[in-house]
Structure formats: structure tokens, C-alpha cells
Amino acid sequence: MALLWLLTLLVCGVNANRDEALRIMENNPVIDGHNDLPWQLLSAANNQLSKVDLFTVATTHTNIPKLREGKVGGQFWAAYVPCDTQGKDAVKRTLEQIDVIHRMCEKYPVDFLCVGSSDGIAEAIRTKKVASLIGVEGGHSIDSSLGVLRTFYNLGVRYMTLTHSCNVPWVDNWLVDTNTDPAKSNGLSDFGKTVIMEMNRLGMIVDLAHVSEKTMKDALEVSQAPVIFSHSSAYHLCNHARNVKDDVLRIVKEKKGLVMVNFFNDYVTCNTAANLSNVADHFDYIKQIAGYEAVGFGGDYDGVPRVPDGLKDVSKYPDLVAELLRRGWTQAELEAALTKNLIRVFQGVEQTSINMNATQPKDEPIAYQEIKDDCRTSYGYDTSTGTTAHPHVGGGLLLLLCLFILCTFEAL
């Protein structure tokens, strides 16, 4: 009889926490930092939305009913293309992924609202739609071009992950810290720092998931705006190079940034098995080291092969929030982690852009020798030196020199 009573109390407690989680999430739904559904659309249907029904598709972690059940109010959709596109068709492939995200919003206007500002997120939440934002996952997607970066911003991209799992000519990725890749830039190169400053000027969030530890520290020092880790966890709990160490967490706190906890088992427990409680441990730990204003949700759904027991898809966010309630998180802390932290960071990025309004766009290209290969042309560069060519300026100087010599001879 006593055992039955204890079980009844336990079940009632669990249900009460979940009911409270749903109540909190009604007005403060989760804004998740990273979801790879667009990659699944490419892999399964070559981005032919006419062949996919996002209400009924059952092979993905994500569909519209699951998003509704999970109280998702904002989602950064990843415009991701693999590293083997680098130096080849990365820009074209990324444009296709940006396009399919826009088409998701066009095909499902009752459910998705493509937005590009913090005010847009608030409007989507108010109208009970999923605020749909675009994050480019990997600096290789801009092909070392500031012009492409600016064009992506104009197409709605609001964060860029500086690397994926490969170095780009101007920044090192996380595999450098495992000695799998050699360091190329020792963090950020000078051009990499220019990319950061141009992102600040535009109002594009700098995302440090997937970068090396040195890159993290370089970017945190250079960026005038808050940065995010869109899908990374706590290194102290799982010593994986994709996670964030304590000293970096403290800098994130100082810089008012955000670490959005990744649900991939291998980054949660450093094992192939994990559960919801293990994920909650990362929330607790980041809160302990960096404060509750530095923690968010970055599930990485549809981008990973293994997710924790209890978090099988995007419908399960309320169960995680219920667990955090059970652990003593307050409503204010949960509202921050769910919604307000990301909006605060985004507003900080937008304000930095406003402050830099008078700053001219950076237009000095990366050195040609840093990108030279058989798959690209060299227009605009002086290939004998690797610098930018100025043929009209050079021709003008030559003409002036000739006129000077001619006039000198006439005077004699």
C-alpha cells in the first residue's frame, strides 16, 4: 500500500511538472539553435517539396505536428552543405538550401514565418507560428568571399557557423584540437577577423559551434557583438572537442553570449547512449559556470544519428523543461533559456550593426595564394604577386609617365 502511494505521488509530481512546463512554454516557446531538416529534404527528395508533406513525414525528427507538440516557437534551420563542396560548388549548394527554407515558409504559411530580426521572432510567437531563421553551417559556404557573405545576409541568413568539420582558408575547425587536422590559421587569420567584423556590421550572428578552441577565443575577443554556440554542450561533462570548456564558458558569460545545448549522444555522454537526464546535466552545468542567461536549446535534430532516450524528436522539449523544473529551475530562468536569451543576443547583434552603421563594407579580398586551386579563376588578382590587380590605375600611371618623358624631350 505504501509503495502504491509513493508511486502515485511520483506520477502526480511528474505530471504536475509537465503541465507547468507546457504553461510556461505557451508564451515562451523554445527557440532552438540548430535543426538540419533542410538537409533531410535534400537527401530524401533533392529539395522537391512537392514530394514531401511536412505534416505526415515520419522518417525525420521534425515535422509540423511534432513542432507543435514540442512548443517550438523559433527555429534556426541549417543551410548546410558538406565540406567536400569546399572550393567546388559550395556557394551554389548553399543557395539551394537557403531557397528550400524560404519555400518551406511559402508552402506552409500558417505554420512557418520566415523572419530576419528579433522583432520578427516576437511577431511569429505572437501569431503562434514557428519563427523560421536561416543559419549557414560552415564558412566554406561563402568561398572566402565577403561579397557572398553580404549576399547571404540579404537572402535572410542570420548566423554563420565559422567552420564545419574542416578548416577553411581563414579559420580552424574543432578537429585541430584532436590532432586530426593540422592548424592552418592558428584560430582566426587576419582575413578571418575581417569576416567577423563584417558579420558584426551586417548584423549576422557569429556561431562558434564546430570551431577550434583557439578560434573560439579569437572570435570572442574580436567580435563586438555577442556570439552563440548554436549546438554545443559542456566539455566538463563530456570531454569532446565539439564542446565548450569552462574558461570559454566564463568568457561567454562576460561577453553576454549563449551556449545552446546539443542533444547528440556522443556530445552529451561521450558515448553512443544517453538520456534526457544527461542532457539536463549540461543545462545545469552551463548555468552553474556561466549563469542561466548563457544557456539555450540547440537540439541538432535531423543532423545526428543518435539522440537521447526521452528526447526522440522535437516533440519532447516539454519533457526536458519538466525535468529542469524538477531540478529547481525557476520560471524566470526557464523563460530565459527557452526564448529570452536568444532574443537578447540577437538584439545585441542588431544594436552592434546599428552602432557600425557609418562603417563602410570591408572589400579587401583574401590573398589569392590562400584560395588558389584548379577550380577557380583569378579575375581581379595580379597572379604574379597574389595581390589584387588594379589595371586601370596601373595604366594611368604608365600614361602619365609616358607624357612626362615626352614633354621632357620636347622641352630639350
Cell output for 277: 537526464
**Which residues are CB-neighbours of 202 under 8 A, at least 6 positions away?**
149, 150, 153, 353
89 labelled catalytic:
no
CA dihedral for 350, 355, 358, 364, sign (positive or negative): negative
Q: How far apart are CA 412 and CA 407, in angstroms?
A: 9
3-class secondary structure, 47: coil
- Residue 299 to residue 231: CA distance in whole angstroms: 7
Q: By the 8 A CB rule, do 162 and 211 touch?
A: yes
297 forms beta bridges with: 32, 261
Residues 6+ apart with CB under 8 A from 3: none
Cell 563594407 appears where?
A: 361
Contacts of 147 (CB under 8 A, 6+ apart): none
Q: Assess whether 210 carries a catalytic annotation.
A: yes
Residues 32, 111, 143, 164: which is the catalytic one? 164
Answer yes or no: 164 catalytic: yes
Q: What is the rounded CA–CA span in Å between residue 395 and residue 400?
A: 9
Look up 34 and say whether it is catalytic. Answer: yes
Phi and psi at residue 90, to the nearest 5°: -60, -45
Q: Which of 34, 61, 140, 282 is catalytic?
A: 34
Residue type, 329: W
Identified catalytic residue from 111, 207, 218, 300:
300
Annotated catalytic residue, options 32, 61, 111, 137? 137
Which residue among 231, 240, 266, 302 is the active-site one? 231
End-to-end CA distance of the chain: 121
Q: Is 344 exposed, middle or buried (0-12, 13-18, 19+ CB in 10 A)?
A: middle
Which residue out of 210, 313, 323, 333 is catalytically annotated? 210
Residue with the three cell numbers 562558434: 208
Q: Among this protein's residues, is 102 annotated catalytic? A: no
Residue for cell digits 568539420? Answer: 165
| Selected catalytic residue, list 32, 36, 319, 333 | 36
CA gap 373, 283 in Å, rounded? 44
- Which residues are catalytic, by number? 34, 36, 137, 164, 210, 231, 300
